[in-house]
Amino acid sequence: MICPRCDSNAADLLVKAPVDNAWEVYICGTCNFTWRSTESEDITNPARYDRRFKIDPISIPNMPVMPPVPKLIK
């Protein structure tokens, strides 16, 4: 399955709903993006995912683990 956010082919089923298989959750092994099968196509479909939020898998290793916390202004 193709990840909507990074377009890698590393997305897999993570979990199914415990009752009636009403939804499924998927996770991308490349960028860790997760989404439910019940979300709209602008989240689930790579072609319709907002380009402003796409991630290039090549840039992932250079991303900070956590955003820096700014100094407190008193």
pLDDT single digits (tens) 26-63: 999 999 999 999 999 999 999 999 999 999 999 999 98
Lookup: tokens for 40: 């709209």
Q: Where are the domains of the chain?
A: 11-55
Name the band, by pLDDT with cuts 50, 70 and 90, for residue 66.
Answer: confident
Is 13:36 a contact under the CB 8 Å cutoff? no
How many CB atoms neighbour CB 52 within 10 A?
A: 5
pLDDT higher than 90, residue 5: yes
pLDDT value of residue 36: 97
